[in-house]
Amino acid sequence: MGQDVARWLKGYDPNQLTIATAVSHSSLQIFHGAKAEGFRTLAISAGDRDVRYYDAFPRAKPDRILKLPKYTDLLGLAEELRAENTILIPHGSLVEYLGPDNYINLGLPIYGNRAVLHWESDRDKQREWLEAAGIRMPRKVSDPTDILEPVIVKYHGAKGGRGFFIAKSYHDFKRHIQEGQPYTIQEFVMGTRYYLHYFYSPLVPDGYAVTVTDAKGKEVAKGSLQMLSIDRRDESNIDEMNRLGSLKDMDEIGIAPTFVVTGNIPMVIRESLLPEVFRMGEAVVKEAYKRFGGLWGPFCLETVVTDKLEFRVFEISARIVAGTNPFIGGSPYSEMVEPNLSTGRRIAKEIKLAALSGRLPSILG
């Protein structure tokens, strides 16, 4: 795939790039940022999805909307879109709509490293990567009979907060588990959640400089790490359960907690935790370059901070997360980097810099 991307880019006009993404998720933010940086924009939509809401946001409305019967039709349109110098910005919904195999095989330059998907989507590989980077994750419970404190059971492939349940004992686990579905069990970490939005640029060593090497110790890039914003997800129904009483009361009336993301809330974190925020981000990036060719652009560590002020990371997202959406006009953190800098705009700036300096092949995968 790497070879193909380099070949496709030879035919690209770096002054006439089109930034494309699928409607939904963070598309308004991606288009808003791309338009602010002077790019042409293309939305990809499928089925009978209503896209009229774009009309309400003229500064984010894409220049063109490509309506397809289904997302997988994109595979057959790659050549046509390459002729328009199209670069695809992936987000969680796009990967989900296409399915992992189609996403990996899509014949378009994608911003970021597509190989990361293998490491991110498999919970065991994700743990291997993060723990090798010295990140503390929630303890894994291998045998359900060992459930002695609250745990969260996650079915494989669970997404967007669906497919989880909390168990406080083996009895509880037996009561809820759906037989035949593979799952993992981890400690339910008590604390407060922070979803940290990072951006690693392998192009610019300014700021919090991070030099990365490959597995053999050879330097591959001298770049820099930013932490552009922090959110907390608003999850239904767990986040407002206390309105009806305690979890125990809920259990008694037969309501189980669910974790379906419905929105996002802006957050800031204690300043004394920032050294650890950057240490974790740097370690994850460095390990990614050693293991699978790197992690660049936006990524998010989903964390819980305990009352001992320790982080536990329960998940990584290796692309723009919807939690960056409250910050289209910038965040308290990005304000100290540059005014009005959203993650979407940061992506557009990176692509612009790479295009102007002949380095697109090093940030597109």
Closer CB to ligand AMP, residue 237 or residue 362?
237
Q: Which is nearer to ligand AMP, 84 or 310 (CB)?
A: 310
Lookup result for tokens 């008590």 = 190
Interacting residues with ligand AMP (CB under 6 A)? 138, 152, 161, 164, 186-189, 193, 233, 235, 259, 302, 304, 314-315
Residue 254 CB, nearest approach to ligand AMP (Å): 21
The answer to whether 26 and 261 are in contact (CB under 8 A) is no
Using alpha carbons, select from 93, 16, 29, 25 the residue that is nearest to residue 347.
Answer: 29
User: Strand pairing partners for 233?
Assistant: 264
CB of 123 to ligand AMP, least distance (A): 9
The distance of closest approach from Cβ of residue 152 to ligand AMP in the complex, given in angstroms and rounded to an integer, is 5
Q: How would you list the strands of the sheet with 64-68, edge to edge?
A: 64-68, 40-46, 18-22, 86-88
CA nearest 322: which of 77, 90, 70? 90
Question: Could you give the CA distance from residue 86 to residue 78 in angstroms, rounded to a whole number?
Answer: 9
By beta-carbon proximity to ligand AMP, the closer residue of 22 and 189 is 189
- Judged by beta carbon, residue 273 or residue 337, the one nearer ligand AMP is 273
Please enumerate in sequence order all residues whose Cβ is within 8 A of that of 53, keeping only pairs 6 or more positions apart, or say none.
Answer: none
Rounded to a whole number of angstroms, the minimum distance from the CB of residue 139 to ligand AMP is: 9
Q: Would you say 84 or 187 has its CB closer to ligand AMP?
A: 187
Q: Which is nearer to ligand AMP, 310 or 315 (CB)?
A: 315
- We find the least distance from the C-beta atom of residue 272 to ligand AMP, in angstroms, to be 23
3-state secondary structure of 20: strand
DSSP for 186-238, please give it: EE---SEEEEEEEEEESS---SEEEEEE-TTS-EEEEEEEEEEEEEEEEEEEG
Nearest approach, Cβ of residue 185 and ligand AMP (Å): 10
